[in-house]
A and B are shown apart, each in its own frame.
Chain A
């Protein structure tokens, strides 16, 4: 007769996967799902929208008319729903996993309740060409959202038009260019200073707008080198574009001095607040002396990132730069909201119409639901979560945090697996792929690649302590495997529907196919 405790039916069958907390026995579903285009059968319908009644006086020129109807797949509504649900089981959807490995993307939880506002016909049914007297409600939301962002940043005016964070940075650069052009200094002020650990978008946007770019490298402690800044500034300096905290997670303690040095040289200072998740309600761009700033509404204010698609950015400026804001601005005379297009010094339009209204509504709802105290608490929890996770990761063999040893980070950390890679031959990317076997996400973009074998984690305020413990346990397990059984890590994934994708195909314009038409042309050879 057997004695001793009865094993719990919930205990993991594989004793190797059993640290606290238990690692999930995740496995992706495999559906052999055809493409939507291959699923259709002629004549099937989901919904039948009413036929459009074209006004009689609108005659499309022949060149704009289709010769034949578009070759769209024809499916019923439930078929479409099942198709996408099956696809969602074949990947690591955002709602499925602890996605703190998104790095600088700040993938915080976007409350589902806020989508109800967006789906409401009062919002969803609006048309951008409606008379402004009929869209007072959404103009009020935009006006109020601008007011909230002004309060959060200390800036005097905002535009909500940019379609994403990089578009907002570009908007700031365009306003800087317009500002100096108005002073007759467009030719002489042609240099923009940034730092290597600021978002690469800063350098890219400045370059795109025609500026020379001077990049500051970190000093021995990992902070932007202030001596290099002093060497770099001069009569050609148009602006400093800087992220703080930088993508290392380090907050530049001398940021006010940076701003002063650039101002004394006659340049403007723009604060890239893509990493604002850890500073909401704690520091303000204007209080530090910045002339411009931007937020990624699609990150910091909990609206969908949208994979480079319909995200939303917001630019804030001092009163001195307000004339250059994109058109239109939203104005309020005490009774009515209106769109102001009569702004002669404006840089013009950055995006059609108002911007990405659904995300403006979501951001407004998120801020209003938290309030001022709630924003600060979100920032504090994000910082606490980040440093809690860092303490855990630093206990893992082979992991390290370059720069400023012992200093806490703000809302993210760029770690290094250099030691693990040298000792085991397992790279950061291998770890990321193996992490997927445990049902979690690990992003592979850590620009610029100065930190060897980088890993950037940004937990945000959205994750519980148990979830952070789970994430750290997954990393610890993969690191243990790297030392004891590197082959398992190198040959991962083992529980996914597709083994390692051939990334050279994805990187080659001759073979990538992002549309059905491109797929038929490049892959099927039609």
Chain B
């Protein structure tokens, strides 16, 4: 198996100096002026060193030149196979070009960076090759990173050993300007393919924490039973909801909000808020959503089309929150979050909601 590496050397530059991110040349300049030094190459080397220790043999790593990978590969005692030479200073465009150049030559592309780097990698490679993030950003919201650099290396080693499933994972788009203003505003940017290695939990006897296809099928059956053949299911974005649509016999886009009837007919694909409001006003509709993995947002992130008006039309009793037990476990005990933009509606959703975790199985889970 060939494992490639692209490093965004400026990722996380602002973190240690309190700038909450590194997007934009001016922020990076400011960070350097405050004494920030790049951490990404060092952390990428840690991941590669872990990978090397687990594979036991040195190997060549397709990568980009200089601080975008070559240095990290050398530091880990491996052989760089440089496929792209960036200019100085490096930019987001270099990440895109490097990832594009590497993708045809690797079976797994490691990238060191944060959410912004993940978005650039997604733009460059899409679903053509599995990727895995070595976390070096300030606060990663995307579910495409190893828990630590070392964990990322371990996951790559497990994939190299064979038998690891590949799954879709969410790339989030965080508005750093909003964060600097004290607001967290993340939206779903898209999906990449990552090796499915639950590194934060046991490798064996993982029970309810693996993305269990049978529990997704159970969720789909449960939702179909609730909606009935003539009821409408407003399905939020994400892989769980797309699997629900597939189990009903409906093919819908991964992104956006889709409306499916209980018999599998696609009533609306990638619908906007106005369209949903009109539909919810005419037929009994169930709002089915899944929280964002690891983060817990139920409303207000990535599914703003499900507007307060749509939620009010359906009513709290027709809200169907679904998540596998694995996804709930990934929240580490943190509550689900709502931020619909309507304070009164948010207040009404707080407390405990039954979360459908499988066929006939619910978790009473706190919502804040």
A residues lining the B interface (CB < 8 Å): 196, 200, 203, 207, 211-218, 225, 227-229, 231-232, 418, 421-422, 424-425, 427-429, 444-450, 452-454, 487, 490, 503-504, 507
Within 8 Å by CB of A454, from B153, B202, B351, lies: B202
Specify which of B200, B204, B207, B365 is in contact with A418 (CB 8 Å cutoff).
Answer: B200
Task: Identify A213's interface contact among B53, B201, B206, B362, CB under 8 A.
Answer: B362
Judge if B273 is at the interface, Cβ distance under 8 Å. no
**Interface contacts beyond A425-B150, A449-B207, A490-B54: sample of 12 additional A-B pairs, CB < 8 Å, sorted by A:** A196-B363, A211-B360, A225-B366, A422-B147, A422-B150, A422-B151, A447-B205, A448-B209, A449-B209, A452-B201, A453-B201, A487-B53
21 contacts between A and B (CB under 8 A): A203-B361, A207-B361, A213-B360, A216-B364, A217-B333, A217-B363, A228-B366, A231-B352, A422-B147, A425-B153, A427-B203, A429-B204, A447-B207, A448-B209, A449-B202, A449-B206, A449-B207, A450-B333, A454-B202, A490-B54, A503-B204
Shortest Cβ distance from residue A258 to the other chain B in the assembled complex, whole angstroms:
13
Whether A453 contacts B202 by the Cβ 8 Å rule is: yes
Give Cα A478–Cα B218 distance, bound, in whole angstroms: 41
Indicate if B148 sits at the interface (CB-CB under 8 A): yes
Q: Which residues of A contact B206 (CB under 8 A)?
A: 449
B87 CB within 8 Å of chain A = no
Q: B202 is contacted by which of A212, A229, A428 (Cβ under 8 Å)?
A: A428
Bound Cα distance A216, B361 (Å):
11
CB interface residues, B 289-347, toward A, < 8 Å = 325, 328-329, 332-333
Q: Give the number of residue pairs across the A-B interface with Cβ within 8 Å.
A: 99
Residues of B within 8 A of A (CB): 50, 53-54, 147-148, 150-151, 153-154, 163, 200-209, 325, 328-329, 332-333, 351-352, 354, 357, 360-366
CB contact between B200 and one of A228, A444, A453, A487 (< 8 Å): that residue? A453
From B351, which residue of chain A is reached at the shortest CB distance?
A231
Give Cα A424 to B147, complex, Å. Answer: 12
Can you name the residue of chain B whose Cβ is closest to the Cβ of A211?
B360
* Closest-CB distance, B291 to chain A (whole angstroms): 13
Q: Hey, which chain A residues are within 8 Å of B202, CB to CB?
A: 427-429, 444, 446, 449, 453-454
**B residues less than 8 Å from A450 (CB atoms):** 329, 333
A200: chain B residues at CB < 8 Å are 207
Name the CB-closest residue of A to B207. A447
**Complex-state Cα separation, A151 to B46, whole angstroms:** 61
Write out the residue numbers on chain B whose beta carbons fall within 8 Å of the beta carbon of A213: 360-362
Smallest CB–CB gap between A429 and chain B, Å?
6
- Closest Cβ–Cβ distance, residue B320 to chain A (whole Å): 14
Closest 3 CB pairs of A and B: A228-B364, A449-B209, A212-B360
Complex-state Cα separation, A212 to B364, whole angstroms: 13
What is the minimal beta-carbon distance from A58 to any residue of chain B, in angstroms?
A: 46
Residues from chain A with a CB closer than 8 A to the CB of B325 are 448
Residue of B nearest to A447 (CB): B207
Instruction: Contact check, B200 vs A445: say whether CB atoms are below 8 A apart.
Output: no
Given A213-B360, A450-B333: A422 and B352 interface contact (C-beta under 8 Å): no
Q: How far is the CB of A12 from chain B (nearest CB, A)?
A: 29
Nearest CB to that of A502 among chain B residues? B163
**Closest B residue, CB atoms, query A227:** B352
For the complex, give the distance between the alpha carbons of A441 and B151 in Å. 26
- Tell me the nearest residue of chain B to A402, going by C-beta: B333
Most buried by A among B209, B329, B333: B333
List the B side residues contacting A214 at CB < 8 Å. Answer: 354, 362-364
Q: Are A225 and B154 closer than 8 Å at their CB atoms?
A: no
Look across to chain A and name the residue whose beta carbon is closest to the beta carbon of B222: A212
**Distance from B218 Cβ to chain A, minimum over Cβ atoms (Å):** 10
List of B residues within 8 angstroms of A218 by Cβ: 333
Chain A: which residue is nearest B149 at the CB level? A425
B364 touches A215 (CB 8 A): yes
A131 → B minimal CB distance (Å) = 46
A213 to B328, CA, bound (A): 16
The CA of A207 and the CA of B54, in the complex, are separated in Å by 42
Known A-B contacts A207-B360, A231-B364, A454-B202; A425 and B351 likewise in contact (beta carbons under 8 Å) = no
Chain B residues lying within 8 Å of A232, measured Cβ to Cβ, are: 352, 354, 364
Q: Which B-chain residue is minimally distant from A443 (CB atoms)?
A: B205
Complex contacts, B148 vs chain A, CB 8 Å: 422
Report if A452-B352 is in contact (Cβ < 8 Å); known contacts: A427-B202, A447-B208: no
Contact assessment for B203 and A425 in the assembled complex, using a CB-CB cutoff below 8 Å: no
A504 to B357, CA, bound (A): 26
